[in-house]
Amino acid sequence: MWLSAIIAIVPIIVFLLCLMAFKLSGLVAGAIATVVQIIVAAWPFGMPFASIAGAGLAGVLTALWPIAYIIVMAVWLYKLAVASGRFDVIRASISGISPDQRIQVLLISFCFGAFLEGAAGFGVPIAICAALLVQLGFAPIKAAMLCLVANVAAGAYGAIGIPVVVGAQVGEVPLADLTADMVLVLQALTLFVPFLLVMILDGWRGVRETWPILLATSVAYSAAQAAILIFLGPELADIVPGLLGMVVIFVVGRIWQPKRVYREDGGEAPAPVRQDFGDVVVAWSPFYILTGVIFVWSIPAFKALFAQDGALAGLVAAVPIPGITGVVVPAGATDPVATTWAFTPVNATGTAILLAVLITFWTTPQLRAPDLWRQLRVTVLDLWRPIVLIALVLMIANIANFSGGSASIANALTAVGLVFPLLAPVIGWFGVFVTGSVVNNNTLFAHLQTVTAQNIGVDPTLLVAANTAGGTVAKVVSPQSIAIAAGAVGLTGREGEILRASIVYSLGMLAFVCVWVFVLSLVIPGVA
| Cβ(360)–Cβ(286) below 8 Å | yes
DSSP per-residue letters across 300-324: HHHHHHTSTTSTTGGG-EEEEPTTT
Q: What is the mean pLDDT of residues 2-16?
A: 89
pLDDT of 271 reads 61
Within 109-174, residue ranges assigned H as helices are 113-119, 124-135, 140-150, 158-171
Closest CA to 392 of 41, 11, 21: 11
The alpha carbon torsion through 227, 233, 235, 241 (nearest 10 deg) reads 0
* Side chain identity at residue 131, one-letter code: A
pLDDT-wise least confident of 182-196, 353-367, 478-492, 496-510 = 478-492
pLDDT tens digits, one per residue of 82-129: 888 887 787 777 777 888 899 999 999 999 899 888 876 767 788 888
C-beta atoms surrounding 17 within 10 Å: 14
Within 232-367, residue ranges assigned H as helices are 239-255, 277-283, 285-298, 300-305, 349-362
Contacts of 48 (CB under 8 A, 6+ apart): 323
pLDDT of 152 reads 92
List, in sequence order, every residue forming a beta bridge with 319; answer none if it has no partner. Answer: 341
Helix (H, G, I), strand (E, B) or coil at 138: coil
DSSP per-residue letters across 203-218: HHHHHHHHHHHHHHHH
Domain assignments of the chain as residue spans, ordered by start: 2-523
Over the chain, what is the mean pLDDT? 87
Cα distance between residue 286 and residue 359, in whole Å? 8
52 burial via Cβ count (<10 Å: 0-12, 13-18, 19+): buried
Closest CA to 197 of 94, 128, 106, 134: 106
pLDDT of 527 reads 58
pLDDT tens digits, one per residue of 496-510: 889 999 999 999 999
319 burial via Cβ count (<10 Å: 0-12, 13-18, 19+): exposed
Its pTM surpasses 0.85: no
